[in-house]
Each structure stands twice: as C-alpha cells, then as structure tokens.
Amino acid sequence: MGKRRHARELAVQVLFHMEFNSGNLEESFELVRGNFNPPNHSLPFSKILLKGILEKKETLDHLITTSSKNWRLERMSHVDRNILRLAVFEMLYMKEVPPKVSMDEAVELGKEYGTEESGAFINGVLDNIYNQLEKEGKIETATAKNSNSG
C-alpha cells in the first residue's frame, strides 16, 4: 500500500475521531496514530490533509451538500462524509494529485471502511462535484493539460 493511501486512511480515522471527541487536531492525531500505528512516512501528508480539511471545512461541506441529491450532510454516515471531505479537499487544493486519483482513492476507502453502498454513494457525489468543478474551470482535465502542454 502506498504512502498516500496510509496517509488518507489516517486522516479519515482522525476526522472520524474528532466528530465524537473533543480536543484539538494534534491531540486527536497523536491518539489515533498511537492506536493504529501507521507508517511514519505517511504522517506528513496526513497532517497536510487534516490541516487543510479543517481549515476549508465550510467550503468542502457546502460543495458536498449541493452535490449530493437528497442527502443532507448530517444524514450521511460519518465515514462517508469524512471520505468525501478528504477527496474534495484534494480535488480543489492538492494540484499535484490528479482529481481522478482522489476520486478512486475515496471510493476504495469507502468500500473498505464504509457500508456496502458507500463506494457507489461516494463515487456518485464525487462525480457530480468533479463535473461541476470542471464546468467552472476550477480543475483541469487530463485533456486540457495535454492540449496546454504542446
């Protein structure tokens, strides 16, 4: 398993923990890290993700809410909601990660940590978000990148 996959898993675990327990990011990070013992090489990327997600949470939640038909944020499972936050953060703010990679990783995390329906649900919401962001010019598609590089 790759460095970033471990980092994403840790980030989702910390976000999940923070929904049920008070405390700051560092305390939560250390507690979850101590219990799950992720590889050290995954820690820096995980911290970048967590700080960014918490900083941009309002923007991420708004985008998720407007892109998930018939699902209010508070009705989503805690796991699905946090996986969506992670993927949308990467799509919007982590330009070195292709959006389709973020989407695929999120679907896999949903299948592993969520319910039977999580993978399909996450895929549907992220597909709506991707199409919206692409239409608004907030992300570049592979086709746009290739045509600009020649």
User: What's the total number of domains in the chain?
Assistant: 1
- Pair 84, 126: CB distance under 8 Å: yes
Domain assignment present for residue 93? The answer is yes
pTM recorded for the entire structure:
0.90
* Domain coverage including residue 100: 3-139
Domain assignment present for residue 146? The answer is no
pLDDT per residue, tens digit, the chain (150 aa), is 678 999 999 999 999 999 998 879 999 999 999 999 999 999 999 999 999 999 999 999 999 999 987 788 888 999 999 999 999 999 999 999 999 999 999 999 999 999 999 999 999 999 999 999 999 988 865 444 433 434
The runs of H, that is alpha helices, within 37-117 are 43-55, 57-67, 78-93, 99-113
Domain assignment present for residue 150? The answer is no
Burial of 126-147, coded b for 16+ CB within 10 Å and e otherwise, reads bebbbeebeeeeebeeeeeeee
Domain assignment present for residue 145? The answer is no
CATH code, 51: 1.10.940.10
- Pair 48, 14: CB distance under 8 Å: no
- Pair 119, 111: CB distance under 8 Å: yes
